[in-house]
Amino acid sequence: MNGHPPARRALVTLAVLALAATPGLAAAAPGGEEAGPATAPGRIANAGEPGTISGSYLVTLAEDVPAASAAGRALVEDRGGEITSVFRHTVNGFAVDMTEAQALAVAADPDVLQVAQNQRHRAADEVQTDPPSWGLDRVDQLELPLDASYTYPSHGGDGVTAYIVDTGVRTTHEEFEGRATSGFDFFGEGGVDGRNHGTHVAATVAGALHGMAKNTDIVSVRVIDSSGYATSETIVAGVDWVTGNATGPSVVNMSLGIPDDPVLDAAVAASIASGITYVVSAGNDGTAATTKSPAGVPEAITVGSADSTDTMAASSNRGPAVDFFAPGVQITSADATDDTATRTLNGTSMAAPHVTGAAALYLAEHPTATPQQVSEALRATAVTGALRALPYGTPNVLLHIGDEGGHVDVPQQPTFANDTDVPTIDRETVVSEIEVSGMAPLSGPVYVDVDIKHERAINLNVQVIAPDGTARLLCSSQIVCAWHEIHRTWTWERPGFDPNGTWQLAVRDPALEDSGFIDAWALRF
């Protein structure tokens, strides 16, 4: 087992599980700063953002200065910094304990591309319920109803390795039949799963009873401790280890979702570029998947959660960054409490391993396939049109394993949308309009989907105005929707209301010297 010395700093509460549980991840912040290609000289990316850790930094170096070299280490050690992790295979850099003044001095060095503060993330509670799992039954058929069977290739993903970047795996659980090992534990504790999360995820990927790919090998990559805490450093270290140690056809499951972390995203993108397929959970905040890491990495396969009626889970993150939906509500799998235990959980953490298992099945037959080819192959056999209650702009794609995909004509809600960009104006209100016609008086709610991109969305005042002049406040300084990107759905109960006429989305930016725009919004009845 490759271990890592225990971290000496306050560990980040990982939104990792956040991903997994229905309540969603209780992130330290709704989102993070979008990273440019490099930090301006003498500046620290994301300095002071909620969730950052005082005295702990991630340093990225220029390509011609290897982080593991004497010259690379000297860049921080000569300024008084203490290196706690070195990243060799993904980002070229390391984690460093140092003062803010030392970090600013390092950031000013021309051989340094970026200095970012380490970030803290909080693990969400898991939801335990009793109903039996239905996910395997759903993924092998194009449409409902379920047929009480799961048909899969006889090889069962043999010859493929799935790396579970998570809380650890109980490798002795009977689900794994001796196919599970501990590969990396940042905390040097043998890969023990003290959160009952990674084991559940791993068994959905490759468990003998609950798994998609029943003959695939499992390797635990433990980056979250038994209290549910991790840092950007621990997660990047795990990704770095996978990149340097994976052999043969491999797929990585990352059922975690943390506030936007550019260093982690860069590490995952680099690992994918090395030829390893990554499946990641979209997160459970009911907002845009792009606000989470690594869900916003374009090269990764990002997965949202659906229930047994083919309805998107209300907590699932959404938007164009989601590549697939998969079963993620009331999913039963292995539990880490003993070698025979099971547990039922909800969340995109449970949805992602279904797709990871499907990727393993494909890789068993196409062992040299690239990550892009794996994604395209899964997309070709997916079901389109089957999902209900999807917000505007979210792909209607449901996981399906089989020789070919299909389309299901499920009646969808009448939808009226406006996707013309409307830039915000400092200290003024801008308006986007939607004309609704041909609708009967409402017998149910109207769903308002809003997508706004802004440098400081936290400042915005956003309201929707109905044709009769009635307004509903959605966001304000007292009702914070997001830090940088709003992608949410609101439910407005207006029984008996005539919805025909002009609806308005009014956005006021009370601040100066920031920018953004209304990207799109829609009304669903």
Single out the catalytic residue among 97, 137, 140, 166: 166
**Residue of 287, 290, 293, 345 lying closest to 316 (CA atoms):** 287
How many whole angstroms separate alpha carbon 471 and alpha carbon 463?
A: 7
Contact status, residue 400 vs residue 139, Cβ threshold 8 Å: yes
Contact status, residue 207 vs residue 214, Cβ threshold 8 Å: yes
| Rg for the chain, CA atoms, rounded | 23
Active-site residue flag, 166: yes
**Kind plus residue range of the DSSP H or E element containing 74:** helix 70-77
**Residue of 391, 382, 317 lying closest to 349 (CA atoms):** 317
Q: Is 218 helix (H, G, I), strand (E, B) or coil?
A: strand
Residue 347 φ/ψ region, left for φ over 0, alpha for ψ in the -120 to 50 degree band, beta for the rest = left
DSSP 392-420: TT---EE---SS--EE-------EEEE--
How many whole angstroms separate alpha carbon 146 and alpha carbon 444?
A: 28
DSSP 323-391: -EEEE-SSEEEE-TTSTT-EEEE-SHHHHHHHHHHHHHHHHHH-TT--HHHHHHHHHHTSEES--BSPP
How many whole angstroms separate alpha carbon 154 and alpha carbon 156?
A: 5
Q: Give the end-to-end CA distance of the chain in Å, rounded to a whole number.
A: 55
Which tokens sit at 115?
């200095």
Single out the catalytic residue among 4, 121, 173, 197: 197
How many whole angstroms separate alpha carbon 335 and alpha carbon 520?
A: 42
Q: Is 96 helix (H, G, I), strand (E, B) or coil?
A: strand
Single out the catalytic residue among 85, 315, 349, 432: 349
Active-site residue flag, 226: no
Q: For residue 196, count other CB atoms closer than 10 A to its CB.
A: 20
**Kind plus residue range of the DSSP H or E element containing 136:** helix 135-139
Q: Residue 290 carries which side chain, given as an amino acid letter?
A: T
What angle, 0 to 180 degrees and rounded to 10, lies between the N-to-C axes of helices 70-77 and 100-107? Answer: 140
Which tokens sit at 206?
């490759």
Q: For residue 523, count other CB atoms closer than 10 A to its CB.
A: 24
In this structure, what DSSP letter does residue 458 have? G
Q: Residue 506 carries which side chain, given as an amino acid letter?
A: A
Rounded to whole angstroms, what are the CA distances from 47 to 77, 231, 313? 21, 16, 34
Active-site residue flag, 349: yes
Catalytic residues: 166, 197, 349
